[in-house]
């Protein structure tokens, strides 16, 4: 998992946000949706129960799509590994790599296509190793000192520092 100490010292500072309740996690997902573009990879880091799927679900529902998209069921892809959604500006690939033990199995998921042509949300991105794009947006979800609320640390390469500067919560 990426931590504050893993962030490159010469890069833009990370954006730290308190997430006092599930509604705040959902609000972050909705706020990120308008910033997304074709080819974006969002790496969702965090322990079990930290809110990765809740954040992904809110983000997916917030993107424009076919009628009913805002209410569409967005299950965790823990067992299917990949769920796809027709959205604008690109198809969304929601990927959960928790059960991946051998990186050789990643080729079968078609992630290179997702990275090039879609928007990809990856839970447990550490399983990608060096295949995680350098310009990915990393979102690290952690529990705060109370153990009830959470925090989000956002840090990305490419033009993510500029895009995050316009984040409206």
Write the CA distances from 99 to 15, 56, 122, 125, integer angstroms: 29, 18, 13, 12
Q: How far, in Å, CA of 76 to CA of 78, rounded?
A: 5
Instruction: Report if residue 16 sits inside a domain.
Output: no
CATH code: domain of residue 45: 3.40.50.300
Instruction: Report if residue 1 sits inside a domain.
Output: no
User: What mean pLDDT comes out for the span 81-102?
Assistant: 90
Q: How far, in Å, CA of 25 to CA of 56, rounded?
A: 9
Instruction: Report if residue 140 sits inside a domain.
Output: yes
Q: How far, in Å, CA of 144 to CA of 149, rounded?
A: 6
The pLDDT assigned to 89 comes to 93
Where in the sequence is the domain holding 117, given as residue range(s)? 27-165
User: What mean pLDDT comes out for the span 111-138?
Assistant: 91
Position 109 pLDDT exceeds 80: no
Q: How far, in Å, CA of 134 to CA of 154, rounded?
A: 14
The pLDDT assigned to 107 comes to 67
Task: Please give the helix or strand (H or E) that residue 133 lies within, else none.
Answer: none
pLDDT (tens digit, 9 = 90+) per residue, 39-69?
A: 999 999 999 889 999 999 999 999 999 888 8
pLDDT (tens digit, 9 = 90+) per residue, 72-91?
A: 888 888 878 889 999 999 99
Instruction: Report if residue 83 sits inside a domain.
Output: yes
Position 11 pLDDT exceeds 70: no
Report whether 90 contacts 119 (CB < 8 A). Answer: yes
Compute the mean pLDDT over every residue in the chain, rounded to the nearest whole number. 87
8 pLDDT band, cuts 50/70/90, is very low
Instruction: Report if residue 77 sits inside a domain.
Output: yes
**Count of domains observed in the chain:** 1
Report whether 100 contacts 21 (CB < 8 A). Answer: no
Report whether 2 contacts 140 (CB < 8 A). Answer: yes
| Percent of the residues in the chain that have a pLDDT greater than 70, as a whole number | 90
**DSSP secondary-structure letter at 16?**
E
| Percent of the residues in the chain that have a pLDDT greater than 90, as a whole number | 59
SS3 label, residue 2: coil
């Amino acid at each position: 998992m990426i931590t504050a100490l893993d962030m490159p010292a010469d890069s833009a500072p990370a954006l730290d946000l308190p997430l006092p309740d599930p509604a705040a996690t959902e609000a972050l997902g909705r706020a990120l949706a308008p910033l997304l573009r074709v080819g974006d990879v969002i790496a969702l880091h965090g322990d079990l129960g930290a809110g990765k799927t809740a954040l992904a679900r809110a983000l997916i529902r917030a993107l424009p799509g076919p009628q009913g998209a805002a209410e569409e069921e967005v299950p965790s892809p823990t067992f299917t590994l990949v769920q796809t959604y027709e959205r604008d500006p690109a198809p969304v690939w929601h990927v959960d790599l928790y059960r991946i033990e051998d990186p050789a199995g990643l080729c079968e998921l078609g992630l290179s296509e997702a990275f090039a042509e879609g928007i990809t949300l990856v839970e447990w991105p550490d399983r990608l190793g060096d295949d995680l794009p350098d310009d990915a947006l990393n979102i690290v979800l952690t529990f705060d000192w109370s153990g009830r609320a959470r925090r989000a640390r956002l840090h990305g390469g490419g033009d993510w520092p500029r895009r995050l500067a316009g984040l409206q919560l």
